[in-house]
Structure 1
Amino acid sequence: MSNRKLRSIVVDDSEIQRTIVAKLITNHPNLELVAEYRNGVEVLKNVKSNEIDVIFLDVEMPLVNGFDLLSSMEHTPQIVLISSDPSYALKAFDFNVTDYLLKPIDEARFNIAVRKTLDASLNKAKVVEDDRHIFVKSSLQKVKVKLTDIKWVEALGDYVRLNLNDSSILVLSSMKSFSQKLPEDDFLRIHKSYIVNLHKVDKFNSNSVELCGEKLPLSRKRKTELKEALGAA
């Protein structure tokens, strides 16, 4: 199971129900209980959506019910709706909630809901990761290049060549200057003429690195850095 912890709040007008859900959250290794609220008004006054990952939200509350709260929030985190009435389920998914729990809440079913929130959170993080990019100047144009598309960068005199998943781009730049555009956690200069995407490395030995079916030279002084970057023993 992932060691990620989702910051969570409970919103329910019933103190007994809040206590039950709060205990389930506290006992779950992937959840962190941030706060408990009695109604939607308290949430709108005190909670910013970027401060939490998931709301465990009762549908039937006075003042502002669960659906009213969702309609009032500009940006919503993941939502697990809770109700004693199954007839709300269809409407719940019109609000793109992650899951819908019926009272009384069964721990096993609660854990399934948490699993769904974790999966959705990881998928969202992957989308963000996949969209990271840089702009490079090539043929007098600024070209957007996704970092996940770069396999390796190769020095060619006054230029560098970006070897991508399905093409290559020639950029007027030194290796030193271009390396500063790339995140250190994802890319490493393994040789005076090569920078590799660490996520695409298949294997390596004392003098070479293999990735995407190609073998590139590895400088002796870079071997330790590569081992550390890949977490290799």
Structure 2
Amino acid sequence: MNLKCVIVEDLQVAADYLAKCCEKSGQIDVQAHFPNVQEALVYLNQHAVDLLFLDVEMPGATGFELLDQLAYFPKVVLTTSKSEYAYDAFEYNVTDFLKKPFTYQRFLESLQKLTTATPENNITSTATDHIFIKSDGKLVRLNNDDILYIESMGDYVKFVTGDKKYVTHNTIKNLEEKVNRSCFIKVHRSYIINITKIDDIRENDLYIKGNEIPISKAHRSEVMKRLNII
């Protein structure tokens, strides 16, 4: 399966060269190109991608500021003409650092790193028993078992645990692809729930710790299949 990627680069000639490298490789599908961080963030927080080719110095905000605000963790390859950003790249644990101008052969070496990265050496991968979310300017670890449900709030979502609520910039659609499906299930366009936390179901609603959550007609069949009904 090809990697879905977005190119964030303010120089059109550099973006075009990257796109040609991706096409030539036959392993990367470029979904979009953006010349600045602001436009890229709007797209990325609504569409999950596997990979970012990310310039550092751009008008308005830097590539590192984009990573600080991104609601999830794709693989990242920094593309910049300045070697001094190599240390920051290491701090952000990006998969590779392509110093401009780079050859197609160097691009292929980066692609090799991307396709062989493992959870042990790639911060973008997380263990299946927990997730990390960005909330209040920091990364917060939430164990799957602590999450009761996730609720959509427009351009944000709310993670509800037994004793706390966390709001982060994300979408239910994106999270549906990211959470561990062995314990989470979408029950409504606005809700993903931890199926192990259901207390009872009454007609078209389920209850978790006193919270009433609707079950849509489109999802009811799948919910019932997942329950251990005897």
Q: TM-score, normalised by structure 1?
A: 0.50
User: Where does residue 87 of structure 2 map in the other structure?
Assistant: 90
One-letter code of the match for 2:44? V
Question: 1:40·1:64 contact (CA, 8 Å) conserved in 2?
Answer: yes
One-letter code of the match for 1:98? T
User: Where does residue 203 of structure 1 map in the other structure?
Assistant: none
Corresponding residue to 1:54 among 29, 51, 69? 51
Partners of 2:46 and 2:93 in 1: CA distance: 16
After superposition, the Cα gap between the structure-2 partners of 1:49 and 1:110, relative to the gap in structure 1 and judged at 3 Å, is farther
The runs of 5 or more residues in structure 2 that have no matched partner are 129-179, 184-224
Partners of 1:10 and 1:105 in 2: CA distance: 16
Q: Does residue 74 of structure 2 align to residue 77 of structure 1?
A: yes
Q: Does residue 18 of structure 2 align to residue 5 of structure 1?
A: no
User: Where does residue 136 of structure 2 map in the other structure?
Assistant: none
User: Where does residue 118 of structure 1 map in the other structure?
Assistant: 115
User: Where does residue 41 of structure 1 map in the other structure?
Assistant: 38
Structure 1 residues 146-185: Cα deviation after superposition (integer angstroms, max 9, x where no partner): xxxxxxxxxxxxxxxxxxxxxxxxxxxxxxxxxx99xxxx
One-letter code of the match for 2:68? S
After superposition, the Cα gap between the structure-2 partners of 1:105 and 1:49, relative to the gap in structure 1 and judged at 3 Å, is farther
Q: Does residue 8 of structure 2 align to residue 24 of structure 1?
A: no
SS at match of 1:24: helix
Structure having the higher Rg: 1
Partners of 1:105 and 1:5 in 2: CA distance: 22
Q: Which aligned runs of 4 or more in structure 1 are off by greater than 3 angstroms?
A: 121-128, 131-134
The structural deviation recorded for 1:93 is: 1.1
Question: 1:22·1:33 contact (CA, 8 Å) conserved in 2?
Answer: yes
After superposition, the Cα gap between the structure-2 partners of 1:74 and 1:125, relative to the gap in structure 1 and judged at 3 Å, is closer
The runs of 5 or more residues in structure 1 that have no matched partner are 135-179, 182-233
Structure 1 residues 125-159: Cα deviation after superposition (integer angstroms, max 9, x where no partner): 8965xx9989xxxxxxxxxxxxxxxxxxxxxxxxx
